[in-house]
A and B are shown apart, each in its own frame.
Chain A
Amino acid sequence: MKSLHIKSARLIDPANQQNGLVDVFIQQGVVVALDHAPDDFKADEIINADGLWLLPGLVDLSVYLREPGLENKATIANEMQVAAESGITTVCAMPELLSPIDSSAHINLIQEKVLAANATQVEVIGALTDGLKGERLSNMGSLKKSGCIAVTQGLAPFSSLNLIRKSMDYAATNDLKLFYQPIEHHLQGDGCAHEGAIATRLGLPSISSGVESIAMAQILLLVEETNTSVHFCRLSCAKSVELLAEAKHKGLPVSADVAVHQLFLTEMDISDFNTLCNTQPPLRSLRDRDALRRGVAEGVIDAICSDHQPHDIDAKLAPFQQSSAGISGLETLLPLTLRLVEEGVLSLEAAIARISYYPALIINKPKGSLGIGQVADFVLFDPDKPKTIDRETFQSKGKNSPFFGWGFSGSVVETRIKGRLVYHYS
């Protein structure tokens, strides 16, 4: 493996309180020194990073790979290259009904495809129940052995509260973290838009905030009772942030993430039936969006993720209720998170931490930082090279982004995983 000398980069490594110009030395895919080269270090490659930011590779807690099973929407080979180009070096694959990640064979298949793609790495989140059907526990022991880092029921419903309770205990038995997306399905019904004046005006069946916060309150009580650790996925409303803050204050072993689009879009964005803004959970009110932003700023919400859900275009070319929910988000995770810095919501260090160091902590992997001894997954970012997100240059197979036309001030120049080049801007 080549040794690497990165010259005069602005290293932003929140885990080690680094934000300044340094030289970084990498050997065998690991950071071996900062500032001064170690004795007998001989660089095979020198990168002049003048004017560039050196960031830890991003860790994205939620990506729907769509493969195997839904290759018409996306393929691992393409999307993992897109992730690399977007500065994301690790993604967590979420199971879904049509691709449930509930067997070792499924996981092996993903791992083979990821290896062949030779780009961004994938950590697999397995199904909590068999086939994600919500009826029987999955074989969590063998999922764990095959490399699963967590289990989840994702967007699929549970048959009973009893099963949720049992699954928490059984996941803990197998030392698997539970990723729980709070949805009270009975209350949700056939809803597809945030309950309020806009859904009412559009005549769309609605989803109240209670759909999320009631599910969350229930699980928080179970966390207290079972003393198991839970990560809450994709929060969307103010009440959930409030409940989470209380739980953390009590010292419960909980964490949470938010999809980055929830920090920018609101129910207003669906007011012309724009199916690109059909998401699950739905886009909420401005008040909710602001509460989520505060939650991220105060650290109540630990991580920001892309919640990447690529779709074939037909899935969005339908009346709103019939269209599929989800946003193709890999390419906007970093730009939108940095936009939060420009809008004064977060400091630059905090923004980077929410998409690298904290998500790595949640999945308990030694990633998301660039201290000495750490794996050299990193991104070189040019803060002065403007980038516009548009359909023509969008790389994901899923062209379902509501952010086409948005301009951002910087761009990814290079991405490396264990020191190995996976993307270079040309």
Chain B
Amino acid sequence: MASDNSQHLTPGALPSSMQLTRDGQLKHFLTIEGLPPLLLEEILNRAEQFLDLPNKAQNKAPVLRGKTVMNLFFENSTRTRMTFELAAQRLSADVVTLDIRNSATSKGESLLDTIRNLSAMNCDMFVVRHQHSGAAHFIARYCPSHISVLNAGDGYHQHPTQAMLDMLTIRQHKKEFPPLKVGIVGDILHSRVARSQIHALTTLCTGEVRVIAPRTLIPAGIEQMGVHVFNNMEEGLDDLDVIIMLRLQKERMQGGLLPSEREYFSLYGLTEERLKLAKKDAIVMHPGPVNRGVEIDSRVADGSQSVILQQVNNGIAVRMAVMAMVMSGQAAEQMR
């Protein structure tokens, strides 16, 4: 390892292809973009197997026995961090969670130094949440090659496990993707969840993917990701099978993107009235945490069409699936 250090520390392209082994197995999980549909389906199938394990909390699967997973959270998170922790524990791994926000980087240490220090502690997997796009790619590129990196959200770029748990939820209710019309409503501009969902939905051949938001929250050229853009909520909801609501962050009122939460709710809030515009059996999803009365009415969030809590449950299974897959990809790579 030491001999190739200079080569190792050369800046350059961080291609997403590094998340696959030479024979196409998952080694890191950085982005949905570019992954083949069969691999996404494998993640869903594996996750379903984990869901079916009896007495999940007590019976641990031995898949990651003897392995150490480090959760590196450079940015705030409760739900994602906890589901990753639980997933690792249920696979029998040792788990360490570092809230790096308050430690190294705030003392001026560079991300590279933080990663190199942590790498020296003999772990097998990094779960990374970072406020900057591409951070997970960066870490995967510059950490020792035996460590797998799972992206738990990087900037506005990707949040691939969230997208996969959403796909699992959709599949549980709708069976197949090609006939579906799926709408993603809200702050697309700042949403890594939306970008991952769009890649996942288009890769799985979803009939139509819409993004629904005011023009201030739609990033330029998003159509090129294969979606239809709607600025009008009513038109966008028409005939949908799946409605995915995104969380609206309060900071958005500052930058001139929106005038007020109240106005946002009046134009884009998902109410019972508006829900009727979608198909009768449409499901309502939300990656959480929910802002009731800002993007979604409580009666919808808690209503019969809401599958929000099911998403949370699926989150653990999907993360177990991905962890198991990257570890076997890694093992295969190390065998060579």
Contact = CB atoms under 8 A, between A and B. Distances in A.
B118 interface: no
Contacts of B33: 201
A321 interface: yes
A201 B225 contact: yes
A: contact size bracket? 20 to 34
A358 to B, nearest CB: 33
A197 B219 CA distance: 8
A196 B221 CA distance: 5
B264 interface: no
A196 B138 CA distance: 22
A320 B133 contact: yes
B222 A321 contact: no
Contacts of B10: 313, 391
B286 interface: no
B236 interface: no
A322 to B, nearest CB: 6
Interface stretch (B37-45, B62-70, B76-84, B153-161): B153-161
B133 A202 contact: yes
A206 B12 CA distance: 21
Contact of A317 (B142, B154, B220): B142
B216 to A, nearest CB: 13
A386 interface: no
Interface residues of B, number: 33
Contacts of B112: 314, 317-318
Nearest to B195: A203
Given A203-B156, A321-B155, A195 B11 contact: no
Nearest to A194: B220
B149 interface: no
Interface in B6-27: 9-16
B192 A203 contact: yes
B103 interface: no
Given A203-B157, A203-B158, A203-B195, A320 B134 contact: yes
Contacts of A251: none
Contacts of A200: 219-222, 224-225
A318 B131 CA distance: 13
Contact of B220 (A197, A322, A391): A197
B132 interface: yes
Given A203-B192, A391-B10, A314 B110 contact: yes
A199 interface: yes
Given A203-B133, A317-B9, 16 more contacts: A197-B220, A200-B221, A203-B156, A203-B195, A204-B133, A206-B220, A208-B220, A272-B15, A275-B11, A276-B11, A314-B110, A316-B11, A317-B142, A318-B110, A318-B138, A320-B134
13 contacts: A200-B222, A202-B134, A203-B154, A203-B155, A203-B157, A272-B13, A272-B16, A273-B134, A313-B11, A317-B9, A318-B110, A318-B138, A319-B132
3 A-B pairs closest in CB distance: A197-B221, A203-B157, A203-B156
